[in-house]
Amino acid sequence: MSSGAMDSSIKKERPRGRLSREMIEDAAFEVIEREGLAGFSMRKLAADLGCEAMSIYHHFPSQAHLHEALVDRLIGSLEMPDAGLPWRQRMHIAMHDFRRIGREHPAFAPFLVTYRMNSPTCLTWLSDILGLFEAGGFGPELSARLFRTVGYYLMGAILDETAGYAKGPSAATTVSDEQLARDFPNVAAAGRYFGAAEFDRTFDLGLDMLLDEMERALGGANSR
């Protein structure tokens, strides 16, 4: 018996009666990371679980419902920073935590960061994060605008770190290292800072600049 046939038989031996939402979600994350969002399907998920697609639809009426559940699972895992910590430290923790779940699921990250959060789980997190901004003394309007501003930065960072430079060149036509150094010296010099090993330092630099400006804006508003 071939290894492929053995893998198939092992999947089919899974007791269908024990299929749960958690099992489906676990497998969905695995299939998405293996096949990509575009390559994901309920049929492939069913094959991975060793069941019929209809067994999955019993738990999730559609692929949209499943994707929503995956978002809820990730967002629901986030914990708000301790209210006793300094505001700036709480912001750092919250932003790094969201960035973490995106980086842990790179193929799913584009869906996560562009998903419009309307489920109770996501709305709870959203309300708490907006409350964190208000705890900084910014008031309702500025808190909302600053939340969006930080979101732009955070979403861009996640997309870049999971699907941008982390994946290497996108162009079909590339240049050699020799040509890069000769014709594009600024890019060649900057290249060492574009790698994954530098992501954390670059992210913290940008986040600190944002927080510096927020605190400066708040100080200016309070002085008027």
Evaluated on CA atoms 196, 151, 122, 39, the torsion sign reads negative
The confidence score (pLDDT) of residue 15 equals 46
What is residue 84's DSSP assignment? T
Amino acid at 95: M
Say what the alpha-carbon torsion angle 117, 122, 128, 134 is, to the nearest 10 degrees: 0
What is the chain's pLDDT, residue by residue, as a tens digit (224 residues)? 444 443 433 344 444 457 999 999 999 999 999 999 999 999 999 999 999 999 999 999 999 999 999 999 999 999 999 999 999 999 999 999 999 999 999 999 999 999 998 999 999 999 999 999 999 999 999 999 999 999 999 999 999 999 887 777 777 888 899 999 999 999 999 998 999 999 999 999 999 999 999 999 887 555 44
Q: How many CA atoms lie within 13 A of 207 on its CB side?
A: 22
Distance between terminal CA atoms of the chain? 79
Residue-wise pLDDT for 93-136, tens only, equals 999 999 999 999 999 999 999 999 899 999 999 999 999 999 99
Instruction: Specify the long-range contacts of residues 116-120, CB closer than 8 Å, at least 24 apart.
Output: 117/71, 117/75, 119/68, 119/71, 119/72
Q: Which residues contact 8 (CB under 8 A, 6 or more apart)?
A: 50
Q: Count the Cβ atoms, other than its own, within 10 Å of residue 76.
A: 15
Cβ 133 vs Cβ 88: under 8 Å: no
pTM of the model: 0.85
Instruction: Enter the tokens of residue 207.
Output: 């986040």
The confidence score (pLDDT) of residue 218 equals 82
Tell me which residue has tokens 């939340």.
Answer: 147
Cβ 73 vs Cβ 60: under 8 Å: no
Q: What domains sit in the chain, N to C, each tagged with a CATH number?
A: 3-61 (1.10.10), 80-223 (1.10.357.10)
- The Cα–Cα gap between 19 and 16 comes to 5
The confidence score (pLDDT) of residue 219 equals 77
Query: What does each C-alpha distance from 7 to 11, 12, 24, 31, 161 come to in angstroms?
Result: 6, 9, 18, 15, 33
